[in-house]
Amino acid sequence: MPDVEFEQIKIKKEKEEEIIYKPILNTEFLKVKNAISMGIGKDLLTYTKKIIKEKELLVEVDKTCFRIAQVGALHCTKNFKYDTFRWRGIVELKNEKNVGFSDYILSRELDDKSFKNSNTFISRKVNEKDKIIDSEFFEHSLIKFTLENNFEYGEINNKLWFQVKCLIRDSEIDINSANFLSYKRQFEAKVKGKLSSNLPDKRFNFNKDVINDFCFNQLIPPLYKVYEKRMKHNNFLKQDIDINIYELYTDKFILPDETTMKEDMQLCKDKLKNNEFNANLELIGRFLNSLISKYNKESVEYLCKYWLYKFLEYS
């Protein structure tokens, strides 16, 4: 493999500073990477398209997500999200059988379902004030958010990074620019993982609600105004919700074990009635009591501070 230089990236932690080295990919390295992609990657795509056509499978190959370390399971590669090596096996192509394909393809149901071909995605323009300016790249609120917060593992790729790339695309930022490449190396070092640079299809839009939803699941203050597009009052509540009202009610609100916190909020909202403020407040007090039992008080305090009133009162 060609030689590459490494950028030293300092990651601030609570009690110490961690130094991580990320490669600065040069032209020679990218040529080798492209040769591998066009070689092994092209063969895999050709094979899968052939099988999809022969078996009439209701799937398609997304070339933008092809990364050999994950999809191809390249032997002996390491996932840097973990502290130790997690050895990967080789995806084999033998006698037109691919060990590693999803259960859906290998054990496909006989009763095929047909779906209407409709356009699910609606293209929306990004507000100019939300766009990233290259000369002020690292001052943008979303860029700073990704580099200045510590995230629990989960949804970083499919929510946060995907939305960052949507905004990069709509802001017309060159993914080969010095700012973007430096930012990508820093973010990869922070999350201890590899992030793809491919930009999403234009049918996918930058969505502040997705970023906020990521914040919700991480229990981080939302980056954007919560439910900005919800304007209609339901007349369920007269004022914001004080978490301490749970102390007034001993009866519990029944919550299933398998539901998420957002699903729990919807269960509560479905029982509220217009203009019955006192009854609604009592129900919410019981609901908060049950939430604390199911999760913990810190999580419910976060919910009350940033989300619950807007979720319940607006549609």
**Do 278 and 201 meet the contact criterion of CB atoms below 8 Å apart?**
no
What's the rounded Cα separation, in Å, for the pair 31 and 38?
A: 10
- The model carries a pTM of 0.64
The string of DSSP codes covering 71-104 is TS--TT---TTSSS----PPPEEETTEEET--HH
Positions in the chain short of pLDDT 50: 68-69, 71-93, 98-123
**Burial degree of 101 (CB within 10 A; 0-12, 13-18, 19+):** middle
**What's the distance, CA 288 to chain centroid?**
27
* Count of all residues that appear for the chain in the document: 315
User: In the structure encoding, which two tokens stand for residue 150, read together?
Assistant: 């510590």
What's the rounded Cα separation, in Å, for the pair 122 and 205?
A: 8
Say how many C-beta atoms besides its own lie within 10 A of residue 235's C-beta: 14
What's the rounded Cα separation, in Å, for the pair 63 and 41?
A: 9
Give pLDDT, residue 243. Answer: 85
Cα distances (Å, whole numbers) of residue 59 to 53, 120, 137: 10, 16, 37
**Do 205 and 218 meet the contact criterion of CB atoms below 8 Å apart?**
no
What's the rounded Cα separation, in Å, for the pair 97 and 295?
A: 45
DSSP classification of residue 17 = E
Question: Phi and psi of 286, rounded to 5°?
Answer: -65, -40
Give pLDDT, residue 107. Answer: 40
User: In the structure encoding, which two tokens stand for residue 158, read together?
Assistant: 């499919």
Closest by CA position to 265, among listed 231, 229, 226: 226
Give pLDDT, residue 222. Answer: 94
Give pLDDT, residue 147. Answer: 93
Tens of pLDDT, residues 73-84:
444 444 444 444
What's the rounded Cα separation, in Å, for the pair 102 and 35?
A: 27
User: In the structure encoding, which two tokens stand for residue 248, read together?
Assistant: 């007034």
**What's the distance, CA 11 to chain centroid?**
22
Radius of gyration of the chain (CA): 24
Give pLDDT, residue 119. Answer: 41
Tens of pLDDT, residues 88-114:
444 444 555 544 443 333 344 333 443
Give pLDDT, residue 11. Answer: 77
**Do 35 and 14 meet the contact criterion of CB atoms below 8 Å apart?**
no
Say how many C-beta atoms besides its own lie within 10 A of residue 195's C-beta: 16
Contact residues for 213 (Cβ-Cβ < 8 A; gap 6+) = 159
* 6 beta partners: 23
